[in-house]
């Protein structure tokens, strides 16, 4: 006899380890476990990345939320790496969009004649 799980039962047994930064994104953000035993979920990290305008603002959120002494250099570097990867990817997307717009304007409509 086969046992079939519903979708809710199946997903309830899965542990959230990582999350993509967006549909087209290649950036994967992992949970970060602090030495104090606190675990920062990837969804919180992604939300902070999306709402922060600068790296300094990003760091300040976590220091304010968890305390200055909660992070080792490795912990903070993992968080900052996620932030930087996402920022670089966004910058590349903006460059491509600008290039597409400029390319459309430079095309000569009479070139095929």
Tens of pLDDT along 37-89? 888 898 899 899 989 999 999 999 999 999 888 888 888 998 999 999 989 98
Answer yes or no: is 50 within a domain.
yes
Counting Cβ atoms within 10 Å, is residue 21 exposed (0-12), middle (13-18) or buried (19+)?
buried
Answer yes or no: is 68 within a domain.
yes
Q: Residue 29 belongs to what domain range? A: 15-104
Structural domain count, the chain: 1
φ, ψ dihedrals at 110, nearest 5°: -100, 10
Can you give the pLDDT at residue 55? 93
Answer yes or no: is 4 within a domain.
no
The number of C-alpha atoms within 13 Å of 4 and in the hemisphere containing its C-beta is 1
Q: Is the pTM of this model over 0.75?
A: no
Answer yes or no: is 111 within a domain.
no
């Amino acid at each position: 006899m086969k046992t079939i799980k519903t979708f809710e039962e199946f997903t309830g047994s899965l542990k959230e380890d990582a999350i993509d930064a967006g549909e087209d994104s290649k950036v994967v953000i992992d949970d970060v476990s602090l030495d104090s035993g606190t675990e920062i979920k990837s969804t919180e990290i992604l939300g902070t990345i999306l709402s922060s305008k600068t790296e300094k603002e990003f760091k300040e959120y976590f220091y304010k939320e968890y305390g200055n002494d909660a992070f080792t250099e490795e912990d903070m570097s993992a968080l900052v790496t996620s932030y930087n990867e996402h920022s670089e990817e966004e910058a590349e997307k903006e460059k491509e969009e600008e290039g597409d717009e400029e390319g459309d304007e430079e095309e000569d409509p009479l070139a095929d004649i």
